[in-house]
């Protein structure tokens, strides 16, 4: 069965078409600037094997974007399939499932309502995800669709990990708590590790280090803690997000600079992290580490704070799990930067972590020494495949 995986943003739509008979990627594409006019650059790109299409097309809304996607997927020359009927199901990435979803679900009206109800928790993404689902439904009304939530994997966290130390009424009335994100990636990677090592009884720390970054503590395949919180702002230092900080900073800066709460949150989301701490040098790890290696103070301090925080979370999670068997690195930085992994694991020998410099430099799967008590692995994440697998499982059960 071919499954279309959709990740709809407020003005963008990412997609992959996967043949689930052999988990082969048939097509991959991106539509940007949905709802915008008067731009010059191309805003649609698709890759089918070696065939690449790039187009400039003004699109009023997500429905028009979907129509374009289907047109290009079924293009006789540059497309991947003959017609729409060969798409057996659609899997949608949805950011915030709140406490309503512990796993992926078949999309029906009650699911749409729950995604809508969770908009206050994911005000930027949930409306876009919903728009994407509705647009897709209009075009393929008879194709089953599945929602896969970024928060679902973390729903196994115990209360001691998800409650914040504020008046309990905010949990009761506003549902303020830690939810965590990147759950599809953490779940995929932890399952891959269990498969690779042939055992489920593992205490793992997963480091998903990309532009957005998060870590999780996983015991016997279940998440017991994660670094992102009510929103993806908490935790590690990221490309443009601050991660953890004293909440009083918000009031302090807001008062002195006359900023509103929402301006402060935008500042912490968009112009902090790498870009902020490096004084505007870059939001991209490659630039930060290159600058650090060249002795540039801005790159050095950013890499230092970034890696120190990861190390602190590893220690905290080892304590939370009462042990540690595996540390896993994944996503753009985790999969590709041996410098990042080496820095993050500095001074962790006491925990039983012994990094093999050669294996690390060669981006091997196992990068710890043979004697290391804790195994350190590099495992590529594949959120789209995880979404497609869930979709297949749910849709197959319908028959």
Catalogue the active-site residues.
Answer: 150
Judged by beta carbon, residue 79 or residue 232, the one nearer ligand ADP is 232
The separation between CA 392 and the C-alpha centre of its own chain, rounded to angstroms, equals 21
Judged by beta carbon, residue 179 or residue 181, the one nearer ligand ADP is 181
Which range in 133-141, 297-305, 328-336, 355-363 contacts ligand ADP by CB under 6 A? 328-336
For residues 95 and 182, give the distance between their C-alpha atoms in angstroms, rounded to a whole number. Answer: 9
Judged by beta carbon, residue 33 or residue 93, the one nearer ligand ADP is 93
Considering the complex, what minimum distance in angstroms separates the CB of residue 337 from ligand ADP?
4
Q: Which of 145, 159, 29, 27 is nearest to 94 (CA)?
A: 145
Footprint of ligand ADP on 237-256 (CB under 6 A): 239
Footprint of ligand ADP on 283-312 (CB under 6 A): 284-286
Judged by beta carbon, residue 284 or residue 354, the one nearer ligand ADP is 284
Per the CB < 8 A criterion, the answer to whether 47 and 16 are in contact is no
Q: Which of 201, 228, 223 is nearest to 212 (CA)?
A: 228
- Write out the E strands in the chain: 2-8, 13-19, 24-31, 44-48, 51-55, 87-94, 105-106, 145-149, 203-209, 213-219, 222-226, 326-330, 375-378
Per the CB < 8 A criterion, the answer to whether 326 and 374 are in contact is yes
Considering the complex, what minimum distance in angstroms separates the CB of residue 392 from ligand ADP?
23
Q: Which of 179, 332, 379, 389 binds ligand ADP (CB under 6 A)?
A: 332
Quick check: 9 binds ligand ADP (CB under 6 A)? Answer: no
Footprint of ligand ADP on 135-164 (CB under 6 A): none
Considering the complex, what minimum distance in angstroms separates the CB of residue 384 from ligand ADP?
11
DSSP assignment, residue 35?
T
Q: Which of 216, 337, 348, 382 binds ligand ADP (CB under 6 A)?
A: 337
Q: Which of 89, 333, 343, 378 binds ligand ADP (CB under 6 A)?
A: 333
Count of residues of this chain found to bind ligand ADP when the rule CB under 6 A is applied: 12
Judged by beta carbon, residue 103 or residue 211, the one nearer ligand ADP is 211
Token reading at 210: 């990309």
Considering the complex, what minimum distance in angstroms separates the CB of residue 398 from ligand ADP?
31
Nearest-CB residue for ligand ADP:
332
The crossing angle, in degrees rounded to 10, of helices 261-270 and 248-257 is: 110
Q: Which of 262, 99, 87, 222 is nearest to 171 (CA)?
A: 99
Write the interaction track for ligand ADP spanning residues 181-220; mark x where CB under 6 A is met and - where it is not.
-----------------------------xxx--------
For residues 285 and 282, give the distance between their C-alpha atoms in angstroms, rounded to a whole number. Answer: 8
Quick check: 331 binds ligand ADP (CB under 6 A)? Answer: yes
Cα–Cα distances in Å, from 42 out to 28, 48, 71, 79, 196? Answer: 16, 18, 17, 18, 41
**Site residues, ligand ADP (CB under 6 A):** 210-212, 239, 284-286, 331-333, 336-337
């Amino acid at each position: 069965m071919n499954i279309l995986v959709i990740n709809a943003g407020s003005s963008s739509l990412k997609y992959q078409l996967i043949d689930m008979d052999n988990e082969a990627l048939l097509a991959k594409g991106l539509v940007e600037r949905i709802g915008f006019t008067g731009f010059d650059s191309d805003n649609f790109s698709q890759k089918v094997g070696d065939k690449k299409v790039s187009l400039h097309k003004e699109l009023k809304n997500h429905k028009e974007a979907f129509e374009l996607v289907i047109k290009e997927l079924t293009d006789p020359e540059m497309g991947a399939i003959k017609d729409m009927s060969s798409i057996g199901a659609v899997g949608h990435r949805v950011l915030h499932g709140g406490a309503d979803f512990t796993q992926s679900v078949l999309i029906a009206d009650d699911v749409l309502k729950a995604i809508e109800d969770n908009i206050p928790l994911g005000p930027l993404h949930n409306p876009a995800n919903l728009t994407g689902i509705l647009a897709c439904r209009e075009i393929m009304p008879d194709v089953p669709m599945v929602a896969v939530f970024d928060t679902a994997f973390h729903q196994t966290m115990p209360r001691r990990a998800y409650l914040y130390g504020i008046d309990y009424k905010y949990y009761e009335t506003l549902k303020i708590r830690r939810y965590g994100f990147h759950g599809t990636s953490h779940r995929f990677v932890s399952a891959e590790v269990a498969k690779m090592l042939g055992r489920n009884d593992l205490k793992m720390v997963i480091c998903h280090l990309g532009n957005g970054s998060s870590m999780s503590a996983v015991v016997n395949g279940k998440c017991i803690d994660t670094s992102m919180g009510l929103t993806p702002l908490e935790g590690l230092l990221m490309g443009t997000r601050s991660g953890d900080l004293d909440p009083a900073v918000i009031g302090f800066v807001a008062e002195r600079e006359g900023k509103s709460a929402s301006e402060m949150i935008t500042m912490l989301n968009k112009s902090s992290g790498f870009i902020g701490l490096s004084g505007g040098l870059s939001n991209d790890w490659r630039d930060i580490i290159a600058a650090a290696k060249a002795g540039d103070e801005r790159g050095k301090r950013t890499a230092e704070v970034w890696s120190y925080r990861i190390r602190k979370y590893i220690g905290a999670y080892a304590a939370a799990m009462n042990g540690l068997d595996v540390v896993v690195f994944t996503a753009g930085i985790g999969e590709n930067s041996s410098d990042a992994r080496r820095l993050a694991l500095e001074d962790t020998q006491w925990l039983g972590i012994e990094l093999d410099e050669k294996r690390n430099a060669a981006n091997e799967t196992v990068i710890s020494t043979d004697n290391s008590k804790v195994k350190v692995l590099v495992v590529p994440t594949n959120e789209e495949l995880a979404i497609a697998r869930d979709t297949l499982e749910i849709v197959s059960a319908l028959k």
